[in-house]
Structure 1
Amino acid sequence: MFLGVDGGGTKTAFALIDSQGQVLARHIESSAYYLEVGLDGMAAMLARGCQALLAEAGVTASDLTFAFFGLPAYGEDRAVQPQLDALPRAILGHARYLCGNDMVCSWAGSLACADGISVIGGTGSMAYGELDGRRARAGGWGELFSDEGSAHWIARAGLALFSRMSDGRAPRGSLYKLVRQRLALADDLDLCQVIYGELQAERSRVAALSRLVSEAAALGDLQAQAIIMEAAAELVALVDAVRGSLGVPEDEEVAVSYSGGLFGADGPLQAPFAQALAASTGPYRLTPPRLAPVLGAALYAARSAGAPLSDAALERLASAD
């Protein structure tokens, strides 16, 4: 049995599978972004999630063959790294696990651990790829000066646009009315109290406001549409950067897939991303994700244990997703 954990800025998913590709249990918990919830908060959440998952499957941690914990911001702070690496041992009671960045979950799920590049468009953003044993990533430097094309980036751009619309520095489109209505602003400057006071400028809560930009774009707000198109272009730039780091020849086609709420059924980026990718210089083959990131994490656990799933097991896993 293989445990997969896909930690995210908004929610954390847990899954338990077997070598035949059967999903034995699934569970959802809250954010794993330790920069926001703290190391203790993340540790408590991971413990709750693992316990609930194992209880649902009717097994214990000692029954696990291997586990993979994909954690946001993993690998980005040397001082914290040993603590992150040690967390699962305290939960599982053994060392049959591996920790890594949550970008690996996206890649392993969307491409089923096959060569190619996967891009994340969720609360944050980044791209990760593997080719002939080589690995590379781009983006994911955090919301303060990176995460381009992410929900947080879109929300921040939308809030900036609202401020310009309010001041008269930009014509007022649908976004202006939507922000006032949805956030119940009696005065435009009340937005500051909502963002810095009520929401505490928290990454995940601010990112949720990206929906207002998407809705305004759907209503025909050209300035909101421009934000969505720029977000798609930023994500393609991440893909191009990973391609370059992997040393892919100019004429070689590369498989590209995606994950994250911005690519979901209600997300705004599927079509704009496909258009921007088709217009880029490198030849790409855009493919829908085969598995959810959490199942990718479990699949990666199996591969890390030296027991990759067979093609038949992969098909069974995909059909259960």
Structure 2
Amino acid sequence: MSYYIGIDGGGTKTDFILCNEAGEILACKRYGSASHKQIGISGVVELLRRGIHDLLEEADMEENDSGSPFAAKAHAQYYGCFGMPLFGEFPEYDRQIEGEIKREFASCHIRVVNDAQAGWAGSLGMQPGINVVAGTGSIGFGVNEEGRTAKAGGWSDFFSDEGSCNWIGRRTVEYFTKEADERLPKGALYYLVRAHLQLTQDVEIIEKIEEEYVPSRDKMASLQLILKEAALAGDVAASYLYEEAAEELSLIVGGVYRQLFDERSCLVSCSGGLFLAGDCIMIPFQKKLAEYPVTLIQPRLDPARGALLLASSFGDGKLTAELLEKAETR
């Protein structure tokens, strides 16, 4: 029997999932950030150790007296894939983390990929096309019919990640200040930010943001929830900001498209917390995508299940998107 471990790492949360070769989900766990920028290399390895141990324990497959977490099932094969944020951007860190994972989990055959690749694998079921992620950060990843891959966006949380929740959080604060000093008309955004941050004077936002939000990408990204509320309340600036985000995300799709598809049509899917804003982002995003010969589809599977598919593809190839779509959680 083969077992697969999929790990979808992100700047805010990390999902662990375990299944068998029939696609039956045996256990799921969620923890915090998997970014080595936030928790360090030792923190990443400890996160994997804890997550995998807890998965196997939940599935009644915890370690036996041999001390190996993968020894409880005799003659079983384990394959894993870790979709890691920032993978491929810091080669020295990549080598260190891969080395630690190989030593710690030698019998599991865990491969490390960029988390954007796990997003593509899940949303498109390993089929050619492009997936754009807009969560804490943003990035696009695609694979064409020839198997070539390409990325766009996601260069840095400081000067890139356009269209992401973190980017929108920063822009939300910018638009608040413009409404506060009447460069723009005051609307729902202004009053919602004041209430959320408990401001008695507008100027207090400087200390609040610089001390509490700037050090935390997660907290900054959470401000995009205010933007949705403001847009639904009719704030013109909030709606315009969603149009800006849609433009940035469509540029990411276009960057991957031009690298891979050479005027051919292709499928596009999207994942990440920003798209939970529904029509606020989806309507302008669909409008912008009309510039390309692409078809926007709903994601088939989430990124954690995408990591399961990648784990199988790196191993015995028994797992398919169809099995994961049909199988139920145990």
Place the TM-score, normalised by the shorter chain, in its bin.
over 0.9
SS at match of 2:10: coil
Whole-angstrom distance in 1 between the partners of 2:318 and 2:267: 20
Q: Give how far 1:19 is off.
A: 1.4
C-alpha contact 2:125 2:321 (8 A) present in aligned 1: no
Work out which of the residue numbers 295, 305, 314 in structure 2 matches 1:295: 305
SS at match of 2:156: coil
Work out which of the residue numbers 39, 42, 50 in structure 2 matches 1:40: 42
TM-score, length of structure 1 as denominator length:
0.93
Note if 1:108 corresponds to 2:117. no
Whole-angstrom distance in 2 between the partners of 1:310 and 1:167: 55
Whole-angstrom distance in 1 between the partners of 2:223 and 2:321: 40
2:266 aligned partner, one-letter code:
V
Partner in structure 1 of residue 193 of structure 2: 179
**Change in 2 beyond 3 A, CA 1:138/1:161:** same
Whole-angstrom distance in 2 between the partners of 1:201 and 1:188: 21
**Change in 2 beyond 3 A, CA 1:311/1:138:** closer
C-alpha contact 1:25 1:57 (8 A) present in aligned 2: yes
2:110 aligned partner, one-letter code:
Y
Partner in structure 2 of residue 98 of structure 1: 111
Note if 1:188 corresponds to 2:202. yes
Whole-angstrom distance in 2 between the partners of 1:295 and 1:14: 9
SS at match of 1:65: strand
RMSD: 1.9
Gap regions ≥5 residues in structure 1: none
Deviations 1:38-72 (A, max 9, x none): 22222222221111111111224354521000110
Note if 1:255 corresponds to 2:264. no
C-alpha contact 2:137 2:165 (8 A) present in aligned 1: yes
Between 33-42 and 186-195, report the one with greater CA deviation.
Answer: 33-42
Q: Give how far 1:267 is off.
A: 7.9
Work out which of the residue numbers 22, 36, 44 in structure 2 matches 1:20: 22
Work out which of the residue numbers 148, 159, 174 in structure 1 matches 2:173: 159
Deviations 1:108-159 (A, max 9, x none): 0000111100000111000000012100000111221100100011111111
Q: What is the number of equivalent residue pairs in this alignment?
A: 316
Whole-angstrom distance in 1 between the partners of 2:167 and 2:257: 23
Whole-angstrom distance in 1 between the partners of 2:320 and 2:223: 42
Between 34-43 and 158-167, report the one with greater CA deviation.
Answer: 34-43
Whole-angstrom distance in 2 between the partners of 1:175 and 1:86: 47
Whole-angstrom distance in 2 between the partners of 1:236 and 1:176: 28
TM-score, length of structure 2 as denominator length:
0.90
Whole-angstrom distance in 1 between the partners of 2:231 and 2:300: 29
Residue identity (%): 38
Where do 1:133-144 residues align within 5 Å?
133-144=147-158
Between 297-306 and 267-276, report the one with greater CA deviation.
Answer: 267-276
SS at match of 1:68: strand
Note if 1:149 corresponds to 2:163. yes
Whole-angstrom distance in 1 between the partners of 2:53 and 2:209: 35
Deviations 1:294-314 (A, max 9, x none): 011011100111414246524
SS at match of 2:179: helix
Gap regions ≥5 residues in structure 2: 62-68
Note if 1:61 corresponds to 2:75. no
Partner in structure 1 of residue 13 of structure 2: 11
Deviations 1:67-116 (A, max 9, x none): 00011011111221111212323442436121011001110000011110
Between 42-51 and 4-13, report the one with greater CA deviation.
Answer: 42-51
Deviations 1:247-286 (A, max 9, x none): x132x220111111112366842332222212x1x21111
Whole-angstrom distance in 1 between the partners of 2:111 and 2:80: 6
C-alpha contact 1:36 1:202 (8 A) present in aligned 2: no
Between 128-137 and 86-95, report the one with greater CA deviation.
Answer: 86-95
C-alpha contact 2:24 2:324 (8 A) present in aligned 1: no
1:222 aligned partner, one-letter code:
V
Partner in structure 1 of residue 66 of structure 2: none
C-alpha contact 1:128 1:138 (8 A) present in aligned 2: yes
1:55 aligned partner, one-letter code:
E
Deviations 1:171-228 (A, max 9, x none): 2121110100111011112112222223353111111111111211111111111110
Q: Give how far 1:231 is off.
A: 0.4
C-alpha contact 1:262 1:268 (8 A) present in aligned 2: no
C-alpha contact 1:119 1:125 (8 A) present in aligned 2: yes
2:162 aligned partner, one-letter code:
E
Partner in structure 2 of residue 283 of structure 1: 293
